[in-house]
Every structure is written in C-alpha cells, then in structure tokens.
Amino acid sequence: MLVYLQLYWAFCKIGFTSFGGLSMIPLIESEMTAHAWMALEELSDIVAIAEMTPGPLGLNCATFAGVRAGGMLGALCASLGVLTPTVIICSVVALAFHRFKEAAAVQHLLQAVRPACLGIIAGFLINLLRSDYLVNGQLSPALIAIGVAALVLLLRFRFTAPKTVIVSAAAGLLLLYVPTLFRAAH
C-alpha cells in the first residue's frame, strides 16, 4: 500500500514542480532512481515508449513508470498524481488569468521560467547521453551514428517522433543485435 501512496505523491510533486513535456523527465528520473523503482536505462526506454504512444508525454511516462513500480494500481496512482496538480493549477489560473494576463509581473515570470526549463532539460540530456551512448564504459560509434541519424531524420526530413523511434530501433537491431548473432554462430 505504501508504494501506491509514494507513487501518487512522487508524481504529484513532479506535476507541481515541472511544466509538462520534457521538463518532467529529469524529475521523473530523480524520483524513480531515489525510490529504486527503476534504473536510468529503463527510464530511457519509458521515454521512448511514451513518445510513441498518443497522449501527453508526462502522463504517459507516469503511467509506464507506475506500471513498472507497482503494476496496474501503480499506473493509476502515478497517473492520478501527475494529473492532480494540473487540475488544481488550471482551475486557479483560469479564474485569475483573464484578470492579470497583461500584468508586467506575469509577463516577467513567464520569461524567467523558460530558461529555467531549458536548463533542466539540458541537464537531463547530459545524463541521458551518458547512459545511452556508453557500452561497457566506452562510447559506442554505432549508438552515436543512430543518434545522429535520428536527429537528421527529425530536423532535415521532418520525421515524426514515432517514425524516428521505429527507424532507430531497426537500426539498433541491424547494427548491434545482428552482429552479435553472427559472432555467437561462429
């Protein structure tokens, strides 16, 4: 029973202290590793799956992380936890926004929040790069090539995130798994 309350509270804190989307990922990482619910590598998998499934990234991550930590009831608790702050904040903001939307303080607040979110995301990306591009403590040229190719697909060819993940997964199988099969056969 305690894990369900912990999941609800952890994702409630994430919902109150992040601004949705990718800014939630470092906070999810922190909570999941602090409670030993999953490793950083597993979080990377959850983010990839959450990007491919319909719905908000934060909610999808909460659902998948909740399943990992506490099964279906864990998914429900984590999802409700991440949604609770949104409902509360949106209700309060909707009541006050029309009255204060042109206020200088509100505009300055919004300007200050954007760089902070970018800094949080950059810090998470650095941690993620460390876990995703190292194999046995060494940089993997194949993984770097997949990452660069995915970036090119997204930016140059305007691939969607799900298509990019599928192509990257296929490349990972070809570059990493198939050679392992050949080495094992010989």
Q: What is the pLDDT of residues 66-105, one digit of tens each?
A: 998 899 999 999 999 999 998 998 888 888 877 777 888 8
pLDDT at 21 over 80: no
Taking the C-alpha atoms of residue 81 and residue 24, their distance in angstroms, rounded to an integer, is: 13
| Strand partners for 10 | none
| Strand partners for 135 | 138
The pTM of the whole model exceeds 0.85: no
What 8-state DSSP symbol labels residue 156? Answer: T
How high is the pLDDT of residue 92?
87
